[in-house]
């Protein structure tokens, strides 16, 4: 029976449940070890047939986003519906605003982001080049910003396109949304103590936590876009609120991560925290590497400490 359920985020359509589990469990164990419980960290990595093992399962839904086996499969935003394209454009603009706000003053990232925003906010300029071209301008700008494009511009542009398509599809296609949520709910049982969602998976985990008929000691959302008030929060089902089944909700974000919204969810969900429950919002800023990497998040001491508390 699953003690911990992990919900992956965007760009995992090429992965498998087993592959994600193999990559994520050592990272989570590292965070638990940093929290001072090496014994629990070891048990997370025991063989599956060891009765002392802490059972960790992955709710894998990436296959639902796999491209069909057809010639000429698209790797751009042109196949989005009008509603999805508008949502994608709003999300890109939000990311660009976040870069402009968080990048050091006068840095290359701040200057380039501000220039692109000036263009996007000019109705005449947008009208002249078309909404689709304006979206591509933002996309190209984000992909070449030093703060974002450490892995390389081509890689980042493909990652951003994938992110936009999967987030917008989840938020606008109800059949797909129901399938994803059901996969997660099927993994949760009476023994589940921890539900961890990363990126888009944090949105899924939030919505599933609201549908639980039983108590859940800990909900963890990592690198989450839940705080995007007019883009994601307005489309949540249910609207922003504290899941009544949850005892502790930890929202953790790296300020270098453009996908992660403002980590403080109190303005949106803090007023509905039941007596005896708590909403913990924390952030950190750690340059270098891939700031959206789930393994980096899982290995944080804050995540390990919360996990230890729920397991013990």
Query: In which residue are the tokens 């059949």 written?
Result: 175
* pLDDT for res 100: 75
Residue 105 lies in a domain: yes
Q: How is residue 36 written in tokens?
A: 């001072």
The secondary element (H helix, E strand) that includes residue 169 is helix 153-172
Q: What is the pLDDT of residues 73-112, one digit of tens each?
A: 444 667 788 888 888 888 878 877 777 777 777 666 667 7
Residue 293 lies in a domain: no
Q: Where residue 198 falls among pLDDT bands split at 50, 70, 90? A: very high
Rounded to an integer, what distance in angstroms lies between the CA atom of residue 79 and that of residue 81? Answer: 7
* pLDDT for res 134: 65
Residue 286 backbone phi and psi in degrees, to 5: -135, 95
Q: What is the pLDDT of residues 114-165, one digit of tens each?
A: 777 776 666 565 444 554 566 776 776 666 665 554 544 444 566 777 888 8
Which three-class secondary structure state does DSSP give residue 207?
A: helix
Residue 127 lies in a domain: yes
Residue 179 lies in a domain: yes
Range of the domain at 68: 16-26+48-187
| pLDDT greater than 80 at residue 27 | yes
Tally of domains within the chain: 1
Residue 297 lies in a domain: no
Residue 310 lies in a domain: no
Residue 207 lies in a domain: no
- Give the percent of the chain with pLDDT over 90: 58
Q: Hey, which bits of 45-178 come out as E strands? A: 56-59
Query: In which residue are the tokens 């939000």 written?
Result: 94
The secondary element (H helix, E strand) that includes residue 118 is helix 108-120
Residue 7 lies in a domain: no
Question: Residue 252 carries which DSSP code?
Answer: E
The secondary element (H helix, E strand) that includes residue 281 is strand 278-284
Residues contacting residue 116 through CB under 8 Å, at least 6 positions apart: 96, 137, 138, 141
């Amino acid at each position: 029976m699953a003690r911990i359920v992990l919900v992956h985020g965007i760009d995992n359509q090429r992965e498998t449940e087993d592959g994600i589990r193999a990559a994520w469990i050592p990272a989570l164990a590292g965070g638990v070890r940093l929290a001072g419980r090496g014994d629990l960290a070891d048990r997370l990595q025991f063989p599956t047939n060891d009765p002392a093992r802490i059972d960790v399962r992955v709710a894998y839904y990436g296959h639902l986003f796999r491209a069909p086996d057809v010639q000429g499969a698209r790797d751009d935003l042109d196949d989005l519906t009008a509603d999805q394209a508008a949502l994608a454009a709003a999300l890109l603009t939000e990311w660009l605003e976040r870069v402009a706000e968080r990048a050091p003053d006068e840095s290359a990232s701040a200057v380039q982001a501000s220039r692109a925003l000036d263009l996007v906010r000019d109705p005449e300029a947008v009208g002249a080049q078309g909404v689709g071209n304006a979206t591509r301008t933002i996309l190209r700008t984000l992909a070449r910003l030093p703060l974002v494009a450490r892995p390389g511009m081509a890689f980042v542009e493909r990652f951003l396109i994938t992110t936009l398509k999967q987030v917008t599809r989840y938020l606008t296609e109800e059949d797909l949304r129901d399938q994803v949520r059901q996969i997660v709910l099927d993994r949760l049982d009476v023994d589940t103590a921890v539900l961890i969602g990363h990126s888009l998976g944090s949105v899924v985990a939030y919505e599933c936590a609201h549908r639980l008929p039983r108590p859940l000691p800990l909900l963890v959302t990592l690198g989450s876009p839940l705080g995007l008030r007019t883009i994601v929060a307005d489309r949540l089902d249910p609207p922003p609120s504290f899941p009544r089944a949850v005892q502790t909700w930890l929202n953790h974000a790296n300020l270098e991560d453009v996908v992660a919204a403002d980590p403080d969810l109190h303005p949106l969900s803090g007023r509905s925290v039941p007596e005896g429950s708590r909403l913990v919002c924390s952030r950190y800023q750690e340059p270098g590497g891939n700031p959206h990497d789930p393994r980096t998040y899982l290995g944080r001491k804050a995540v390990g400490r919360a996990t230890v508390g729920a397991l013990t």
